[in-house]
């Protein structure tokens, strides 16, 4: 059967249209010739440049692609994104696995990495995984520079305020005073320099005399120290010898006294050695005590006197009652 030109044209047109549709979907990350692969979802507040056809990896190995990115229909999450991604490899991971957006390189685009977890319930196609994102180098630098920028701006404002205050304080009169003070200080420094130079010249000129004086002073100090030590030694020796001699004399005297007492010399020695004398002294002491008692009890026996010169009648013994 002869195929007409119109049929051929129609077949070519349909084939071209089908190829265009397949190519468009392939560029969009969809392969119409492959069977439908399981897809999962994740929610993000910011996709950071992630787009359709971005890679999906597990441990650095590509296992799928991002299929679609749409806005969330939840009124409480306006502005959030729902990312649908496919996992072509037959892998088992749980719902606790994390879908993290990361940067493929400094100049590369964004990709999606699944950080698998094997605890809990297994994830099934259509399930939502927790979404997360990893800051790239530029975001990290920006996050660290933002607080520093705020501090620098604050320091600039404070410095500006300080300069304004200094301008108010350092008026023309104050600047003239400072200038005059600096000139006087410069003159004083010049004078001090001259004095220092003169002093250096004087020291250089008299260095030999100063050295001799210092040496003589050192010798005198050494001799004085030696003399002081000798004097102290002699004084200590003299005091010790004198003290020993006095102590020896005292001990000799005590020995003589003790020897005399032991031999019965002197009154105290006789009293210690002569028992008869001790008995006589004891008896005399007793008689004296009785006499004193008698005089106290009968004073008229021992004392006779008259106020008007009356003749003494003599002693009359009182009757004993």
Q: Judge whether residue 43 has pLDDT over 90.
A: yes
Question: What pLDDT score does 71 carry?
Answer: 92
Q: Which domain holds residue 162?
A: 141-169
Per mean pLDDT, which of 120-124, 132-136, 235-239, 280-284 is the most reliable? 120-124
Q: Judge whether residue 315 has pLDDT over 60.
A: no
Query: Considering the domain boundaries, does residue 102 fall inside one?
Result: yes
Question: What pLDDT score does 138 carry?
Answer: 53
Which residue is it, tokens 């020796």?
237
Task: Indicate if 70 and 43 belong to the same structural domain.
Answer: yes
**Strands annotated E in the chain:** 39-44, 55-58, 61-71, 81-86, 98-103, 110-115, 128-129, 131-133
Helix (H, G, I), strand (E, B) or coil at 140: helix
Query: Considering the domain boundaries, does residue 113 fall inside one?
Result: yes
Task: Indicate if 85 and 127 belong to the same structural domain.
Answer: yes
User: What is the percent of the chain with per-residue pLDDT over 90, rounded to a whole number?
Assistant: 10
Give the chain's domain count. 2
Residue that finishes a domain, picked among 86, 119, 134: 134
Question: What pLDDT score does 97 carry?
Answer: 92
Question: What tens digit of pLDDT does each residue of 53-109 get?
Answer: 889 999 888 888 898 999 988 888 888 999 999 888 778 899 999 999 998 866 668
The mean per-residue pLDDT over the stretch 112-135 comes to: 88
Q: Provide the 10 A C-beta neighbour count for residue 31.
A: 13
Question: What pLDDT score does 229 carry?
Answer: 78
Round to the nearest angstrom and report the end-to-end CA distance of the chain.
203
Question: What tens digit of pLDDT does each residue of 125-161 get?
Answer: 889 999 898 865 555 555 566 677 778 888 888 887 8
Task: Indicate if 154 and 82 belong to the same structural domain.
Answer: no
Task: Indicate if 95 and 73 belong to the same structural domain.
Answer: yes
DSSP secondary structure string for all residues of 158-184: HHHHHHHHHHHHS-HHHHHHHHHHHHH
The mean per-residue pLDDT over the stretch 260-283 comes to: 69
User: Where is average pLDDT lowest: 66-70, 129-133, 263-267, 315-319?
Assistant: 315-319
Question: What pLDDT score does 320 carry?
Answer: 46
Task: Indicate if 127 and 153 belong to the same structural domain.
Answer: no
User: What is the percent of the chain with per-residue pLDDT over 70, rounded to a whole number?
Assistant: 76
């Amino acid at each position: 059967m002869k195929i007409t030109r119109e049929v051929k044209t129609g077949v070519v047109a349909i084939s071209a249209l089908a190829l265009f549709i397949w190519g468009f979907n392939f560029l969009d990350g969809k392969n119409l010739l492959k069977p439908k692969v399981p897809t999962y979802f994740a929610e993000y507040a910011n996709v950071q440049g992630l787009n359709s056809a971005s890679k999906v990896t597990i441990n650095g190995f590509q296992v799928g692609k991002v299929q679609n990115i749409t806005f969330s229909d939840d009124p409480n999450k306006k502005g959030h994104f729902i990312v649908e991604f496919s996992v072509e490899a037959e892998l088992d991971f749980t719902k606790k696995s994390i879908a993290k957006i990361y940067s493929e390189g400094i100049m590369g685009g964004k990709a999606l990495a699944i950080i698998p977890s094997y605890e809990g319930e297994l994830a099934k196609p259509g399930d939502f995984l927790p979404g997360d994102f990893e800051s790239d180098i530029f975001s990290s630098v920006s996050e660290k520079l933002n607080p520093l920028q705020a501090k620098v701006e604050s320091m600039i404002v404070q410095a500006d305020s300080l300069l304004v205050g200094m301008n108010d304080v350092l008026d023309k009169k104050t600047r003239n005073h400072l200038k005059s003070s600096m000139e006087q200080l410069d003159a004083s420094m010049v004078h001090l320099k001259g004095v220092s130079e003169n002093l250096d010249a004087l020291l250089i000129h008299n260095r030999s005399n100063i050295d001799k004086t210092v040496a003589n002073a050192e010798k005198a100090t050494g001799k004085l120290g030696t003399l002081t030590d000798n004097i102290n030694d002699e004084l200590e020796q003299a005091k010790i010898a004198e003290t020993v001699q006095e102590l020896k004399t005292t001990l000799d005297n005590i020995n003589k006294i003790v020897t005399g007492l032991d031999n019965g010399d002197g009154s105290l020695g006789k009293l210690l050695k002569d028992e008869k004398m001790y008995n006589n002294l004891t008896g005399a002491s007793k008689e004296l005590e009785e006499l004193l008692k008698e005089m106290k009890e009968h004073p008229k026996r021992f004392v006779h006197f008259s106020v008007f010169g009356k003749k003494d009648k003599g002693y009359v013994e009182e009757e004993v009652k």
